[in-house]
Structure 1
């Protein structure tokens, strides 16, 4: 294998390493976005359940002539309201955790990665170069 081929392979390996770093950063960013969307979907599920419980209680009160169904309706309405409030509190708490984790995450820049790899590779005379 000629020196030109070896140099070409070395350059391709460097490009591949940089591309893998870019892919890792994109993958991490997409994971954070998926987490945010999952939290929002959970909020929507809680709210949908809370509304269903409250509407069920309202229907039990309005369409019933029986006392026990009216009592069940009176119990279901506050349960639905409490669940709705709980869902907002839970969503906000989880959102803060996600934001704090996202702010604490600092991906390695490509320039920093390249500078580090060049410093650690052997120089022309077989010794490591220093910055």
Structure 2
């Protein structure tokens, strides 16, 4: 039934500020913006090895009744170094949700609240790496 991560949607009162913050974090610009003219209500990035979609949605369109509170789910994005990723997020203005914790051999998680109130997780996950094709010297 579930075939893979399609889109992670985060919400922000200021989509432009959120777009700029995530562009700095990710090192890429949003590739999709709606509307095209005027202030954006939605922007989208392609992220990582599988080019998953990370969308920033104007909080006015949040499908829940308490847009000022983070939900219970955390989407974890694989990183090669959880401590370094966690520290970088904090340096960009995120705040601690859950400090790095080893969950077992080959599994480390951490999470932050981004400056817009969303929970963002980072994780070292050996299973993620096992499903990737082997890297060659030219894949950097």
TM-score by length of 1: 0.20
Higher relative contact order (Cα pairs below 8 Å, separated by 6+ residues): 1
Normalized per residue, the structure richer in helix is 1
Normalized per residue, the structure richer in strand is 2
Bigger Cα Rg: 1
TM-score by length of 2: 0.19
